[in-house]
Amino acid sequence: MSEIDAIFRWNQNALHLLEDCDVAERSLEVADSFLVSDGRVLAVDLHRERFLASATARGYDADDDLDAFWHSALSIIPRQTQWFPRFELARQRDTWQLQFRLRPAPRLAETVVLATHSGPEVRTAPTVKGPDLDVMMRLRQEAQRAGAQEAVLLDDGVVVDAATSALLWWRDDTLCHPPLALPRVDSVTARSILTIASAMGVAVREEAARPADLAGCEVWAVNALHGIRLVTDWIDGPAVTASDARAHRWRMRLAALARPLP
């Protein structure tokens, strides 16, 4: 189990380990993942709220079933080493499926190189994590071929998100984020960082910024796996600055919010 995914399917109010790969066509409707490190996790209740709200938005109406599935899955996550489990709601023809993937965490990174996706809008459900995961992986692979690790998404030229991360940036001592009106997945990690900033009295503002507007800014790509990754380069994009000291301080503040799994 430490080397490959263990996949469990929810059936008759219990999780059952799948022994064989199910090759039938499925459409992924909702997915949610987070890092578990020695049994501790950041903002697990916010992940649960997002998963349940997204499932309802996609048409699933068995809230009690969702809650039981969620808590059963949490109970089988090992409390040692690092894991990156994924909760899934899928459709197979006209049947809903709840599935849980227990996955070892991949290698974590503290820095990242960006590349801008210059093609048309590819998201079909930009506010829900799940339906567009495959296409986001393809965008990230395109960025990797260009020498980056993450693809930046634009909305009418304005920075809105990245393929697997949310983007934040600093203008002097002000922490900025894309306009809330722009459609994107509600990042639990970004929300946690902005909450910390507000609690500390750090100036926070939303900003409609094109990539060129971020020249000279410190840019962060944040997500539930890596936490804060400091952008060190933006291929064919703006020249950004990078403060290891500030990123380190904020990683420590995020880590302090982690709590034991229930």
3-class DSSP state of 90: strand
What pLDDT sits at residue 7?
A: 94
Q: Tell me: do 124 and 97 sit in the same domain.
A: no
Domain membership of residue 254 (yes or no) is: yes
Model confidence pLDDT, tens digit, residues 187-215: 999 999 999 999 999 999 999 999 999 99
Q: Which residue range is the domain that position 147 belongs to?
A: 111-260
Confirm whether 235 is domain-assigned.
yes
pLDDT tens digits along 63-109: 789 999 999 999 999 999 999 999 999 998 889 999 999 999 999 99
State how many domains the chain has. 2
Residue 21 has pLDDT above 70, yes or no: no
CB 100 within 8 A of CB 73: yes
38, 167: one domain: no
- State the CATH number of the domain containing residue 21: 3.30.470.10
Same domain, 70 and 193: no
Q: Which long-range contacts (CB under 8 A, 24 or more apart) does 143-149 make?
A: 143/114, 143/115, 143/117, 143/235, 146/115, 146/235, 147/113, 147/115, 147/235, 148/112, 148/113, 148/114, 148/115, 148/233, 148/235, 149/109, 149/112, 149/113, 149/114
**Whether residue 23 has pLDDT greater than 60:** no
Tell me, yes or no, whether 143 and 238 share the same domain: yes
> Residue 188, class by beta-carbon neighbours within 10 Å (0-12 exposed, 13-18 middle, 19+ buried)?
buried
Q: Are residues 47 and 130 in the same domain?
A: no
Q: What is the pLDDT of residues 116-172, one digit of tens each?
A: 999 999 999 999 999 999 999 999 999 999 999 999 999 999 999 999 999 999 999
Examine the domain organization and report whether 120 and 247 are in the same domain: yes
* Residue 1 is assigned to a structural domain of this protein: no
**The pLDDT of residue 1 is above 90:** no
165 and 127 share a domain? yes
**Does a structural domain hold residue 142?**
yes
In a domain, 217, yes or no: yes
CB under 8 Å to 200, separation ≥6 — which residues?
Answer: none
pLDDT at 33: 98
Residue 125 lies in a domain: yes
Task: Spell out the SS3 assignment of 45-60.
Answer: HHHHHHHHHHHHHCCC
List the strands of the sheet with 95-102, edge to edge.
14-17, 6-11, 95-102, 86-92, 27-33
196 with 226, same domain: the answer is yes
- pLDDT bin (cut points 50, 70, 90) of residue 2 is very low
**What CATH number did the domain enclosing 237 receive?**
3.20.10.10
How far is C-alpha 151 from the geometric centre of its chain's CA atoms?
14
